[in-house]
Amino acid sequence: MLKKSKFRLTALLLAATMTLGACTDSSPDSNESNSTGSRDKVSFTIGYAPGDPAVKKALADSIQKFTEANPDIEIKDMSENTSNSYLDWLKTKDAVGEFPDLVEMRDTEIFADAGKIVELPSELVDLFDSPPEVDGKIWNAPIALNVPQGIIYSKKAYADAGITNLPTTYDEFIAIQEKLKTSGITPLVVGGKDIFHMGFWINKFLIDDVYAKDPDWNSKKTANEVHFADANVVQAMTDYKELFRNYVDKGWLSTPDNQTVSFLISGKTAQLYSGTWMFSQIEEADPSFEYGFYAVPDREGNVNIIGLPSPAGWSLSAEAAKNPEKTEAIKKFIRFFFEPKQYAQYLASVNGIPSTKEKVTYETGEAMQSALDLMNNSKVTKSLAINNWWGENLIPPQFRNWFYKKMQEMVLNDGDVKNYMEQVDTEYDSQVKANSM
């Protein structure tokens, strides 16, 4: 049996513990009088990933609705647009004593092991349908379930190129790219300026060739039983490299994620590979734009998607948990966020999949229905991205971004895939060693 992998936070984060301890609730922001002066206003900070504009707006709307309904509670939104990874942003906030009281947690095991977050209060756990456990404990109120990613395509571009059928194999998908290219339109846009966007295609190929067949591959890699230079991973990254060099808009490295929709609806490109959260952005930008959605099959015609639950969502910081009034205010917000009416509005804004026990529904369009059909199809293999596994399959915390950037470099330099994968093996092993010391 493999020994469970544990990876430490960097010194930058761990060194912040004393700084956090110095931040007490006697600070000016902790207890402010409300406008009526009848009692103190409870204040807490909130932090979440800036990533997708539709998600950011939906969360901001939920916060505003809550504070309007609860004038005695103030929520200070700390989230900001940044080119850094969300993990790096949280580490920086912690290092300067500004770790959020309520935080959207994605690297749960890392922060739980570092003592930065506490378990989800037991009275909130019952809101959710089988939330994932880490070390037998539930740390998160899952904001929504993981949604599938796939091709969002312009129906006009497909029609103009004479494409009448969606692909049933990866080779048929490549044939579609050739038809689009021949018709005079760039097949794909990629928001490579934002490093998280690189994970969409990288993980599509990793899931097809690695995780769909072996969900425990990460733990085996940590134990040095498998390697990135193995034939299946080399094949995955070869497909990734060839797709980028042949069919992706040449300006992908300088294109931010939030500009990919404009490429699609303007007709500059025919397709975008992303998740269901992009649907609302498309419809807001051009309500008349006709688009479809499908998962790209592998060479054998199997469909494999991101779709498993993972330990992520709202988490209460260990520091905030020391303050009973602040804790009660945070629990009140979490209950409000997942109330069926409010939660349905949030999910509709981001085309999300509910995580709660109580049934929540909202009207969906054709593309979202295609995504839901994928999630409900027992023949579709559900998996996770390389950095969303946990326990024995947790990867070193700094590896994901390093790996994505290395894959960018490989495409730009037209590098030898096997050679690059050997470099990736070396780096992964080095990070495992560094984090085990």
SS (H, E, C) 108-175: HHHHHHCCCECCCCHHHHCCECCCCCECCECCCECCCECCCEEEEEEHHHHHHCCCCCCCCCHHHHHH
277/86 Cα distance (integer angstroms): 18
Q: What is the pLDDT of residue 14?
A: 36
Are residues 140 and 159 both part of a single domain? no
**Confidence check: pLDDT of 307 > 70:** yes
Confidence of residue 136 (pLDDT cuts 50, 70, 90): very high
Percent of the chain with pLDDT over 70: 90
pLDDT value, residue 12: 35
* Alpha-carbon Rg for the chain in angstroms: 22
- Strand pairing category for 40-47 and 149-154: unpaired
In this structure, the answer to whether residues 169 and 35 fall within a common structural domain is no
Q: Which residues partner with 271 through β-bridges?
A: 153, 188
Residue 353 has pLDDT above 90, yes or no: yes
135 φψ region: left (φ > 0), alpha (ψ -120 to 50), beta (else): left
Question: Structural domain tally of the chain?
Answer: 2
Q: Does residue 340 share a domain with residue 215?
A: no
* The token pair that represents 228 in the structure block: 């990135």
Q: Is residue 375 part of a domain?
A: no
Q: Flag whether 373 is in a domain.
A: no
Decide if 206 contacts 233 (C-beta within 8 A). Answer: yes
Same domain, 215 and 338: no
Measured at the CA of 277, the angle between CA 131 and CA 52, to 5 degrees, comes to 95
* In a domain? residue 384: yes
pLDDT tens digits, 63-121 = 999 999 999 999 999 987 665 678 888 999 999 999 999 999 999 998 999 999 999 99
* 244 and 321 housed in the same domain: no
Q: Residue 289 has what pLDDT?
A: 98
Whether residues 84 and 15 share a domain: the answer is: yes
From 395, 424, 396, 394, select the one nearest 408 (Cα to Cα). 424
Residues 170 and 137 in one domain: no
- Identify whether residues 235 and 327 lie together within a single domain: no
Question: What does the pLDDT read at residue 79?
Answer: 85
The reply to whether 291 and 422 lie within a common domain is: yes
- Domain containing 129 equals 11-145+311-362
pLDDT score of 30 more than 60: no
| Confidence (pTM) | 0.83
Looking at per-residue pLDDT, the higher value among 24 and 229 belongs to: 229
Quote the pLDDT of residue 129: 86
pLDDT of residue 407: 98
| Domain of residue 241, CATH code | 3.40.190.10
Any idea what DSSP says for residue 202?
H
Single-letter code of the amino acid located at 128:
F
- 387 domain residue, yes or no: yes
C-alpha–C-alpha distance, residues 323 and 44, integer Å? 10
- CB contact at 8 A, 124 and 234: no
Summarised one tens digit per residue, pLDDT across range 171-203 is: 999 999 999 999 999 999 999 999 999 999 999
Coil, strand or helix at 337: helix
Of 306, 256, 305, 304, the closest CA to residue 281 belongs to 256
Whether 4 shows a pLDDT value over 70: the answer reads no
By the 10 Å C-beta count (0-12 exposed, 13-18 middle, 19+ buried), 376 is classed as exposed
Residue 278 backbone phi and psi in degrees, to 5: -75, -20
- When pLDDT is cut at 50, 70 and 90, the band that residue 152 belongs to is very high
Asked if residue 22 has pLDDT above 60, the reply is: no
SS3 46: strand
Query: Per-residue pLDDT for 349 more than 70?
Result: yes
Q: Are residues 293 and 400 in the same domain?
A: yes
> Residue 345 domain-assigned?
yes
pLDDT over 60 (residue 1): no
Give the pLDDT confidence score for residue 301 in this predicted structure.
98
pLDDT above 90 covers a percentage of the chain that reads: 82
Residues 273 and 178 grouped into a single domain: yes
Q: Who's near 366: CB < 8 A, 6+ residues apart?
A: 292, 293
Q: Spell out the SS3 assignment of 48-111.
A: CCCCCHHHHHHHHHHHHHHHHHCCCEEEEECCCCCCCCHHHHHHHHHHCCCCCCEEEECCHHHH
394-405 core/surface letters (b: 16 or more CB in 10 A; e: else)? bbbbbbbbebbe
> What pLDDT is attached to residue 84?
63
Q: Is residue 6 part of a domain?
A: no
Domain shared by 217 and 169, yes or no:
yes
Report yes or no on 22 lying in a domain.
yes
Q: Establish if 32 belongs to a structural domain.
A: yes
